[in-house]
Structure 1
Amino acid sequence: MTRIYIHSNGDAANHGCEAIIRTTYNMLKPITCEIGYPTYDITNDKKYGIDKLVTLIPCKRPIIQYRSVRYFYNRLLSKINFDKYAASLYQDLLTNSLNYDIALSVGGDNYCYQQSYLRLAYINRTLKKSGLKSILWGASIEPSLLKIKSVREDLKKYDALFVRESETYKALQSANINSNVYLYPDPAFSLQRQPYNLPKNFIEGKMIGINISPLIQNLNSNPTLVIKNYENLIKYILSETDCNIALIPHVVWSHNDDRTLLYTISNSFRNTNRIINIGDANCMQLKDCIARCRFFIGARTHATIAAYSSCVPTLVVGYSVKAKGIATDLFGTEKNYVLPVQEIHTETDLVKTFRYLFDHETNISEHLKIIMPDYIKQAYKAGSTLCNLIKY
């Protein structure tokens, strides 16, 4: 029996991470395998039922008090001996991998951030030294990172790279990384829906779903401007349309919780009786809720994937190559479908971009209905290719 170690994903309170592990598990069903899944929050993973799919392996990282002696020691160590620093962080994850044959690095956007690639490279390098076959799965890679020699060397060490959008694929080709590179949609496009018990005032066909991430505030030089854009968008919807609004969280980590901003926004409009706060649920139920919206405006990538795959006209408030790449693959352009948060300069930028979506609703919806069945088939094909690589 093949033993597969799926690592570097977040716990299921990030419902994008949950969608990745659920759909990856389903894609691996054709082969007889044992799946181990290291987790740094086993409580959250059990809460959303991940233990029903894979073997959860509890891992711990050292807890270091901010500005303590150990904190400053680690900062210094990370600069002068990164491998020793990383070994202290990932000892559990790497030790637990020794009983497995295949390492599947997931997480989707781990290679989109400057601060994470060194850690991923250390994990990849160590797993390979231990004799595991190492595969990067469903990834986007920030093209600017490929200018760094150590990143290119790291990526070439993988036995296979599965990338989820063509912007990353083209960037890899330009960096002369061509061997065992596969382009397929994100596995979460294949996620199935599970009925969500919608609130009574959720009027199907007249709801506009909105998701916002605390992360995007920090990526604009004026964080309050981002919130002002969302507030002005809601004002526009309430005054210019007969639609109601569903505020939908997709990440509910204690340190990074969509509901914090969503509740703040909803309180500003609590007297309108046209805004609903959708409660937390698993990723399949949240997809069911998103699928019943007329439009969706989202910041979290897998919330927008839930909308796209349900043929809901979608505007992405994006911040990296993943948003641009996926939109370009679906529509041939990112223009009018992605509003980069770094390019929000006025208080009405989000309203202006949404108006395009609203005015072209029928064409966008019909386009998604035409292309999406084959796009989802391609996502499943990624699973078939992965299974063949694992078997042979």
Structure 2
Amino acid sequence: MALRIYFTGHRSFCNHGCEALVRSAVSLYRQALGAAEFLVPSADPAEDTRFWPDATDHGVRFVPVVDPWPGHRWWERAVRRVPGWGRLPWPPGPLAPGTRAALDEADLLISTGGDNYSLDYGLVSLFTMIGTDGAAMDRGVPAVLWGASVGPFDAAPHVLSAVRRHLARFDALVVRETATLDYLKAQGLDARLSLATDPAFLMTPEETSLMPFWPRETGQGTVALNISPIILRRHAGAGGRNLEDEMVAFALDLASRGYGVLFVPHVVGQSGSGLKCDHALMARLLERTGTAGGRIALLPRRFNAPQIKHALARCRFVIGARTHCTIGALSSGVPTLSIAYSVKATGINRDLFGDERYVLDGASLSRTSLDAGLTRLVADEGVIRATLAARKPDWSASLERAVATVRAAVEARGGAPFGQRYPLRAAAGPSGIACD
């Protein structure tokens, strides 16, 4: 029977960063382990199939998505009213039938999603992850944290002990930046810890001829722009600036200087929702800029993660907020300015370039700061391309080592050939979610 690998931390390919993580993990583990079946939670299997039409050929089977338990939302509201309750154990909550069935099938759990073990999405999301991954561990399923950024938890230090205990239960912790590696070492979690490049660096681009929308270039090449609603919400009114106005002005500046400008959404709203949708935001920007005589365009919503990577590779420069938009560009050798809203952008850039010279703090976003960032990319274009080309062999090697580490850790703990069912082990309390 083929090994069954269950992914957690995933919800929809509408987030093309999540799609890139799942696709790259599937490719790496199929190459290393041979035949395997991948159980991928999906909020909309039909839409996810449109983004990855041959997913079943790669062993992917979509299973019910893991939704937060409503009791966690009530608990979070209670903690806001009575902060002292935040030190009490979070109730573990029941698993939905679809989640229980998927976990009962699993031979191995891969916790992906990039940065779910952080405060970026709130405590309800964090404890949903802890509860689901912990339930797999309680069943004796080997568990691996994969391609992750973790923390920091400075804004909620009372949950750090719960996260630390939970992470210590994983069979392997594979993180994607030195910053996360050092953070977890400081928490005493170095026993099963390893560093590897974000797996999406190895995702194969998919060439497509469906590019009649490509902006008209007049000698300067194309600059891809990616901005997310997250940036606008977090930094609305910063310095008295309207960030949409700043982006519109910058795009028009680029077009007037001979650049093609391509708005690139990397997260699209599920079932037409615009709340977290880059495409809805960037379509609104295009309405305001117009096409500037064909020099400004918008990447269509239908493009999947490999197709977006192919489009990014055709650009001369990329300026992006979404982490996996910038990874798609950097892994294609394209000079990229990362607009940072969390530790991810800074950590990845430090590992690639040794510092943050190509990172723009989201709080400083403006027409002027964007122009200064692009000026740095232009000045350093040759150096950046040479640096990325030199780093490329390291990406494959680090991920091959990471997969080997995962395999060794699981085999050592299971005491059986990799891919066979593992015996149940005793649960370590209520999935380790008590806070100090």
Residue 237 of structure 1 pairs with residue 254 of structure 2: yes
Instruction: Report the more deviating stretch, 374-383 or 41-50.
Output: 374-383
Residue 275 of structure 1 pairs with residue 282 of structure 2: no
Alignment partners' CA distance in 2, 1:72 and 1:173:
33
Alignment partners' CA distance in 2, 1:59 and 1:298:
28
Residue 168 of structure 1 pairs with residue 180 of structure 2: yes
Which runs of no fewer than 5 residues in structure 1 stay unpaired? none
Q: What does the per-residue CA deviation read over 1:358-386, in whole Å, with 9 as the maximum and x for residues that have no partner?
A: 22222212221222232343234433433
1:43 corresponding residue in structure 2: 46
Higher relative contact order, chain-length normalized (CA < 8 Å, sep 6+):
2
Of the three residues 375, 386, 399, the one matched with 1:366 is 386
Question: Any residues of structure 2 matched to 1:27-38 within 5 Å, and which?
Answer: 27-29=28-30, 30-31=32-33, 32-38=35-41
Contact 1:45 1:51 in 2 (8 A): no
Alignment partners' CA distance in 1, 2:213 and 2:13:
27
2:62 corresponding residue in structure 1: 56
Alignment partners' CA distance in 2, 1:225 and 1:51:
45
Alpha-carbon shift at residue 143 of structure 1 (Å): 2.5
1:340 corresponding residue in structure 2: 361
Alpha-carbon distance change, 93 to 222 in structure 1, aligned in 2, over 3 angstroms: farther
Question: Any residues of structure 2 matched to 1:246-325 within 5 Å, and which?
Answer: 246-253=262-269, 254=273, 255-270=275-290, 272-273=292-293, 274-280=295-301, 281-325=303-347
Letter in 1 for 2:259: C
Letter in 2 for 1:140: S
1:154 corresponding residue in structure 2: 166
Of the three residues 87, 98, 104, the one matched with 2:94 is 87
1:354 corresponding residue in structure 2: 374
1:128 corresponding residue in structure 2: 137
Residue 188 of structure 1 pairs with residue 204 of structure 2: no
Alpha-carbon shift at residue 140 of structure 1 (Å): 0.3
Question: Any residues of structure 2 matched to 1:204-223 within 5 Å, and which?
Answer: 206-222=221-237
Instruction: Report the more deviating stretch, 311-320 or 153-162.
Output: 153-162
Alignment partners' CA distance in 2, 1:230 and 1:283:
24
Query: Matched residue of 1:377: which SS?
Result: helix
Letter in 1 for 2:287: N
Of the three residues 228, 242, 251, the one matched with 1:225 is 242
Alpha-carbon distance change, 74 to 168 in structure 1, aligned in 2, over 3 angstroms: closer
Query: Matched residue of 2:242: which SS?
Result: helix
| TM-score computed with the length of structure 2 as normaliser | 0.80
Alpha-carbon shift at residue 70 of structure 1 (Å): 12
Alpha-carbon shift at residue 75 of structure 1 (Å): 4.6
Contact 1:94 1:127 in 2 (8 A): no
Alpha-carbon shift at residue 4 of structure 1 (Å): 1.5
Contact 1:299 1:316 in 2 (8 A): yes
Letter in 1 for 2:339: V
Letter in 1 for 2:38: I
Residue 13 of structure 1 pairs with residue 14 of structure 2: yes
Alignment partners' CA distance in 1, 2:261 and 2:57:
34
Contact 1:140 1:322 in 2 (8 A): yes
Contact 1:296 1:313 in 2 (8 A): yes
Alignment partners' CA distance in 1, 2:259 and 2:187:
47
1:199 corresponding residue in structure 2: 212
Contact 1:5 1:35 in 2 (8 A): yes
Alpha-carbon distance change, 329 to 271 in structure 1, aligned in 2, over 3 angstroms: closer
- RMSD across aligned C-alpha pairs, in angstroms? 2.8
1:144 corresponding residue in structure 2: 153
Which runs of no fewer than 5 residues in structure 2 stay unpaired? 413-436
Alpha-carbon shift at residue 59 of structure 1 (Å): 3.8
